[in-house]
Structure 1
């Protein structure tokens, strides 16, 4: 794109007539949306000319927030908030069309945020203290409403965990889990002043940054939120603080309402919070909004989009040298190409702000070179490298240490063992792991680490050398305890698996196996897995000193290693995506519906299958629509060839092909019958239909069968409860229970698949069509006999005489709460009083002579 760069930015738009106060960048980084009271404008950043499409918007309210859908699946959707309403818009074919208008808040909406992975989920918060979670598949009302008591100023979905979201309320934070009801799972007292912004770390699931009126940005770890991990202090109240898509960077901007002349954005390195790494200077008024543009393929530069009160849209180029200041190392080859195309002003700016070599040179000068068993062979602050040689017992190591430009501000050095070293791969890996761990701990606190790492290097080599000396690989005098396995008794115990594969219901295949190497035991190679535990004793019977356990068989210990197998390869667990081999389809699951009349449902689902390219399902849904039409036309539809026999054949066909998705959907569709009334034995028979049944199934639908539909014999009903619905087994069309149980199994299996996909709304819809009533209680129940009317009762109040059924044998008052009674003599009372009595005595307090504790215990031991 040929644009005129002014040092580090170019002006993408000057729209003084827009009067926009909200800005958003789409998922692809192509379009920028600007929204205000008069217009909604869209600018294509890939076009060289400043072409802006304006769409008039007549409203007396300003736009509070705007955001594009972050998923690729529905990136054409965007949402804006205006007073108490959310407007969901679709950008397609250069037209902006309203798709939904969401109304539930009673006061001004303060913030909104799309779900990071589910394109249909949207969260909004308001001054009315509510946080609403919307599902665009049913936009009539929020799918979940969270009450926070205090007004919410920000709402943000976690960028890694799909179920967590955070909200800001004055100076406090609440963490919600949409799976765990309407109460917050965590509460954080973060600031004493108002919180203006929240942002989850895109790389750390539990880290949350908060920007506040108290001039600070705090970073909290939600696993221990009592105090902030660290605090970044600025010179003005912070409006927004957002993580960069590279390194450890953070961008902050001041509160727009202050307008103190501070119009700049600040770039920080969170590992070095003493001063900003860079200041973006260019706007003539306060910045209202800023977002990152998706990086174009092959580019080393990131771009930051900003919109200001001066009604200018600026695009900032974040060059590689700025990325390095934030601890990010871009591709050096691509960086050279970019540097050659820079303007002289940009090169001067880079030289002015690039890291200096003095801090590293100072560390080299202060290094203590008199470390036992170690020699520093070279130190070069220009190339930023250091080479050392260590000789400990049988180990000699040449180590090169390379220091990145951002070292030691959160970026550790790189350790490399050179070829002249006499270390095997295992010892070398342990040494590098120890050095990297220590270096990371030091630089996380902005501390140098060279001398500490060199001393640790010598200590680690001494430990590894001692372990090697004590290794008993070839010691003939080494003996082990005798075999603990029971020989013949273990012949029927199968050996644990050494390999296997498991399918998940959502298209995941997990495979594991033994490490691809053989073992040499007792002079022979072992390449097969034993059939039973007793086989371990046979394998080592030739040498009395040999001993093996199941763990040592799986994980070879050092004493069993041989020279040509010093570093056996590790066993690996493979996870494959095999969704393309299965008939269940997530796209279909998201778009299928079950609400409405049967013909409409079938027509919609046929169109959904056509979009997914499943023409076989299009034919099936079209046939299902014909069945539904015949139901409407023919009163005695169960005798019609397009009636029950064809619907049952369709379900059986897809069940035989293991297409559980289609079998379950058809089981739900044809489990809804027309309401027909006929006289039989002076009773009414009821059929539940799609047109008349409640979508929430206040009256459960009847059970389906392959010979007809089960008829429900009803008594005059006082309420629509399950107890009033009784299945009559003597009607004309009996239910074949085998098929019915299969249909229920299809629904439950498909509901499990939906749950694993996270489609909880769709799962709930399927479960509403379950036909089986809950099973009656089959356990042991206890009841008391009322002392007044001698009638049996299960409650503290008698259902016959309405008096209390039990008096305490100790205090002689009526028992209303917890009670205990003797199973032999029947005397009892308050649990507390009986406990105090039997702590000192073992005879019944009534004087009947019964030893209640002993007698009752003997009943349960028979």
Structure 2
């Protein structure tokens, strides 16, 4: 038989089969029909919604068909009615009984397996009512003392036993002859239990809950949990598969529209799955044949499924995989063959085979829909780095050995780099040494003497900061006679060599900058506009200018190239234009050096008219440092981030792109980790070294611990050793020596008894019970 379906007028809430599994009844808000099940189709026999003069203005929440009399069908309604229908009658007479005992929605109705005309119901009012169709009211009432009863099922093993599940997660077993109290009760799930089903052969009961599990309980002993199935959604219905001990079908209450058949021995992958419904499956029932079952859904359909058409999810499971962690360890799973070879083997070879295949399932040579897809994997663990220390131990050793204050930045960085390198943190060690190079004392000194200019701040592409030295006084003087001809300005001779010492004395700032190598070297260049550039922004070729003073002509400056740089083979006849052709030439420079003054009067070119100190080319590393800190924070290494920020000290002001909120988040994260490892001293040190107000105020907050009186257990709300209720002072007495504790006091948070730290430690090292004799199992941490 294949799979076929019938479309209905509305959503179907439940279905039930008759005694010989040839007819099915379905019910819903707008649906109440009976179908004959034929080969490949459903044939409608009766539509009870079309009957006149019937009060059917309520929704069918559940339906049941009597297993002993085919003429009786029961429905559970949302208005609290339980109605019994006689299919042998017509018209209004079909309504055999209409019970209105329940005050709220009836969730479940179920006929007795052997007693004709007996049925039971469970409702949202927390009660279960036992009916006899010959009586107009309920025969017995069972109170569950819970908010609601979701499902009731008669036991196939005992004619007087039924089970009920409720929203508080409990399962109750009742005897029909005792209405005052249940036989046994146990908590099966952590959430509401929506369905239960007795196993037809074993003393087992299966329960389904909102906690996304199906549990199988053995009631022959003390409610033993035998199996647990993990699903992806809350389960609304479950049914054991006939003739199969370990197979059970389920459908979800939300999200999942599939019907899954499970083998309880394999709790994570279904044995078979049926995905015909497009909305939530609301009901299902086996047709007595383990290969055929019916289902109804909220998608207005009624299906008959053939087990051979089901999918096998296990065939799509991948038995191979690989995983790599941050320490370089690799875990790899490889598929192994599962078909055994028929050979005679001893016990040792059998053990080896069982280890290779695993203990999850038994190897079988036949492949049917009732057997699992055979797949087995071997797991391999590769550890190329041979890491002996775990991350937690490395964190502890770094926290204890890092030095964060008391030395210079260079010393702190070098010390911490050595510590990180010894523990295998080579990347962290390199970071510490880079921080040392970037923010050592030399960097701080240069940064303090030469603060970056506005040009550098605005231009992020040029990592050069122009620094200003003392400017040279510039005074206008009359033009000297020696500056009238090009020969006078660019004449070479022996007298130039004699004046080099005076030039060094006259230009101390320039020569110091040039000799220290701060300005980069480059090719000499003659251009049209190079003389118009000031020295503080001059290009590299400006370093090749040589200043010489001619004593024979007062106020005359001669321009020439050093002979060693450009050896000439003949006299240069075509010289550059004289300085008077350039702007700013009617000026003189007044150089002051110590106690004497040297004046130079000449027609100076524009590039020398405003001489300024040459800035030290510097690189701003703040962007790289901020990016590095964010990288470590992304990896979860807040320890490195927090320690680097603390060691930087005053240099943190150069990290202008790092907000205080981000820094506070990192510091608090490190403090939280230290507290988890109980490193209270280091945590307090981090708080003291913090420059952030929200962090530094942490150790200024008071800590209040409320305790109870050891005699009357009243909460001690005021300071002192006297209880407000019993007026005893046992709170301050030692339970061992019975003396007042002056100093450290330790007490048990369970019984509130305590005493001297040493006395309690000594007592609890040999005993488990409280020394006062209260019988409490005290624990000393």
- Same fold (TM > 0.5): no
Greater relative contact order (Cα 8 A, min sep 6): structure 1 or 2?
A: 2
Bigger radius of gyration, 1 or 2?
2
